[in-house]
Amino acid sequence: MSLGLTEFTLAEARDKLRAREVSAQELAEAHLSAIGSAKALNAFVVETAERARADAARSDARLAKGEGGILEGIPVAMKDLFCTEGVVSTAGSHILDGFRPTYESTVSANMWREGAVMLGKTNMDEFAMGSSNETSHYGPVRNPWRADGDNRDLVPGGSSGGSAAAVAAALCLGATGTDTGGSIRQPAAFTGTVGLKPTYGRCSRWGIVAFASSLDQAGPMTRSVRDSAIMLRAMAGYDQKDSTSVDVAVPDYEAALDRSVKGLRIGIPTEYRVDGTPAEIAALWDQGIAWLKDAGAEIVEVSLPHTKYALPAYYIVAPAEASSNLARYDGVRYGFREDRDDLTEMYEATRAAGFGAEVKRRILIGTYVLSAGYYDAYYLQAQKVRTLIAEDFKNAWDRVDALLTPTTPEAAFGIGEKSDDPVAMYLNDILTVPANMAGLPAMSVPAGLSARGLPLGLQVVGRAFDEETVLQVGRTLERAAGFDHRPTPWWRDQP
């Protein structure tokens, strides 16, 4: 019974709640017990059962009166990068040990206002720096998916790996993620879920622990495109407290889903056919092209000449901003402190012990590329290249309405497989990073399985603030792919 209750999509649950066929409290209990029996995934760092029960009771009361918001009674998980009032928020880092914000991030506050029920905080790569969720201070998240006839643990992708795993394993109906270089879309692809990174400026960054300010953007992670549309509407909106938030109306995304793509022009960027792309990825891409063509879309080859430079430029801009954003973690006002008699020693010991290897690596890279004598060659050059990348997309929009590409160059890999080769790990984001560099909305939709039975995703990129077209194309792919595979729950009641 409780099992069934976790199998709904967010949209189905919403309709049943409004029809009073299920209660928010039943839903909450079902998901809490699912979480309780999924410890093996290590998807949650904090579980807020009591909070969930209180939220659910409140929602039932509203629903009984025929009231309630967009997400009324919907159990969701919150990535630990979001500051949640009174609930420990650590960004997966030792240096934020025990940090209890006295404030609530704008995005999470928007969701609570719309009636969402909080199940807990999800595990993530430390400060969202990673593509495998292996850099978390709380240990790696295990992907609910395993390759056929192989019970080795796979990564769920990252940095929003805990949210992706929780959604894929039906531990929640939706979860928040953040995407700086692919941190929503890549884990979505690795776990057979839907991940949407909105336009930069669409969701407020206020109260989200900053990684790279000019790239960070929050978005929904769900099991269907419709769920994504519903959840984004609740998360999005202009925020006075974020100078980079943009004051444009938030449409009813769900209404866009059933528009036909007939006549839409879909661009296929030549440069995304990177050498060494596995045949099955190329095949999936061709399949996606065929599906959209069948649905009446016009397929257009386009060129985004600076694509190959997006990733190296990203690995200058993001670490540079991070090196400055993470300077505030100094053991003075919150979090972990390594005591020393000398101030500088206190700083150096606190940050040495508080940050993990990948975070230190990026802080050092960022410090170096900004340091005297290197700024022009690295940071300034990267920001100029970024301008060229954005222009590539602008030119494409003269000819097409959206772009279709694979989300990742490969399916989920094994835990530990890439840990000792940073660049190999970074290459995972090669197809997702360009949208961040240009601030464009992009979504990953599960489109098929690899030869080893692992999920693969297709990515749709759209014009700034045109999430509607992205969702519309995503919905078309979803319908055509009919992706209804679910991982077998090997994790249930495992240690």
Partner 1 sequence: MSGVIQGATGPWEMVIGLEVHAQVSSASKLFSGAATAFGAAPNTQVSLVDAAMPGMLPVINKVCVEQAVRTGLGLKAKINLRSVFDRKNYFYPDLPQGYQISQYLQPVVGAGTLVLDMEDGTSREIGITRLHLEQDAGKSVHDMHPDRTYVDLNRSGVALMEIVSEPDLRSPEEAGAYLRKMRSILRYLGTCDGNMEEGSMRADVNVSVRRPGADYGTRCEIKNVNSVRFVQQAIEVEARRQVDVLEDGGEILQETRLFDSRKNETRSMRSKEEAHDYRYFPDPDLLPLEFEQAWVDEIAASLPELPDDRKARFIDELGLSPYDAGVLVAEKEVADYFETVAGGRDAKVAANWITGDLFGALNKAGLEIASAPVAAKDLGALIDLIADDTISGRIAKGVFDAMFKTGRPPGEIVEEKGLRQVTDSGAIEAIVDTVLEANQHKVEEYRGGKEKLLGFFVGQVMKQSQGKANPKIVNDLLKQKLGNPGA
Partner 2 sequence: MSLDKATVARIARLARISLPEQDLEPMAAELSGILTWIEQLGEVDTDGVAPMTSVVGHALHHREDKVTDGDRRDDVLANAPESTDGYFVVPKVVE
Could you say whether residue 210 binds partner 1 (CB under 8 A)? yes
Task: Tally Cβ neighbours within 10 Å of residue 134.
Answer: 22
For residue 450, the partner it binds in partner 2, partner 1, none, with Cβ less than 5 to 8 A by kind, is: none
Q: Which of 203, 209, 292, 400 binds partner 1 (CB under 8 A)?
A: 209
Convert residues 235-254 into a mask of x (bound to partner 1 by CB under 8 A) and - (unbound): -----xxxxx----------
Show the site string, 167-206: x = touches partner 1 by CB under 8 A, - = not.
--------------------------------------xx
CA distance 20 to 217: 35
By CB under 8 A, tell whether 260 contacts partner 2: no
Task: Choose the contact partner of 384 out of partner 2, partner 1, none; CB within 5 to 8 A by kind.
Answer: partner 2
Q: Return the H-helix or E-strand segment holding 422.
A: helix 422-426
Looking at residue 376, what DSSP letter applies?
I
For the chain, the C-alpha Rg in angstroms (whole number) is 21
Q: Does 355 bind partner 2 (CB under 8 A)?
A: yes
Partner in contact with 107, chosen from partner 1, partner 2, none, beta carbon below 5 to 8 Å by kind: none
**Phi, psi of 414, deg, nearest 5:** -75, 150
Q: Is 391 in the site for partner 1 (CB under 8 A)?
A: no
DSSP 8-state class, residue 491: T
Q: In what order do the strands lie in the sheet with 117-122?
A: 44-47, 117-122, 75-79, 174-178, 218-222, 194-197, 442-449, 455-462, 402-406, 265-269, 298-302
349 contacts partner 1 (rule: CB under 8 A):
no
SS3 403: strand
- Binding flag, residue 302, partner 2 (CB under 8 A): no
Tell me the residue type at 96.
L
* 386 is a contact residue toward partner 1 (CB under 8 A): no
- C-alpha distances in angstroms, 389 versus 215, 301, 305, 307, 394? 14, 17, 8, 7, 9
User: Which candidate in 59, 183, 224, 228 is catalytic?
Assistant: 183
Cα 161 versus chain centre, distance: 8
**Which among 159, 160, 245, 444 is annotated as catalytic?**
159
Alpha-carbon distance 437 to 356, whole Å?
Answer: 26
Mask 372-411, x = binds partner 2 (CB under 8 A)? -----xx-xxxxxxxxx-x---------------------
Q: Fill in the amino acid letter for 256.
A: A
CA distance 174 to 168: 9
Helix, strand, coil content of the chain in percent (nearest 5): 40, 15, 45
What is the crossing angle of helices 225-235 and 467-481, to 10°?
160
CB of residue 473 to partner 2, shortest distance in Å:
22
Q: Is 243 a catalytic residue?
A: no
The angle, 0 to 180 degrees and rounded to 10, between the axes of the packed helices 225-235 and 10-18 is 70
Query: Of partner 1, partner 2, none, which one sits near residue 88, judging by CB under 5 to 8 A according to partner kind?
Result: none
Pick from 2, 371, 395, 488 the residue near partner 1 by CB under 8 A: 371
Cβ proximity to partner 1: between 213 and 450 the closer is: 213
For residue 364, the partner it binds in partner 1, partner 2, none, with Cβ less than 5 to 8 A by kind, is partner 2
- Min dist CB 459 to partner 2, Å, is 18
Binding to partner 1 by CB under 8 A, coded x per residue (else -) over 211-230, reads -xxx----------------
Active site (annotated) includes residue 183? yes
* Surface-to-core class of residue 247, CB atoms within 10 Å of its CB (0-12 exposed, 13-18 middle, 19+ buried): exposed
Candidates 154-162, 204-212, 366-374, 405-413: pick the segment binding partner 2 (CB under 8 A).
366-374
Q: How far is CA 215 from the centre of its chain?
A: 13
Check binding of 334 to partner 1 (CB under 8 A).
Answer: yes
| Distance in Å, CB of 344 to partner 1, minimum | 8
Active site residue 245: no
* 412-431: contacts with partner 2 (CB under 8 A): 422-423
189/313 with CB nearer partner 2: 313
DSSP one-letter code for 210? P
Regarding 342 and contact with partner 2 (CB under 8 A), the answer is: yes
Write out the residues near partner 1 by the rule CB under 8 A: 83, 89, 91, 96, 99, 101-103, 105, 205-210, 212-214, 240-244, 320-321, 323-324, 326-328, 330, 332-334, 341, 343-344, 347, 367, 370-372, 375, 379
Q: List the catalytic residues.
A: 79, 159, 183
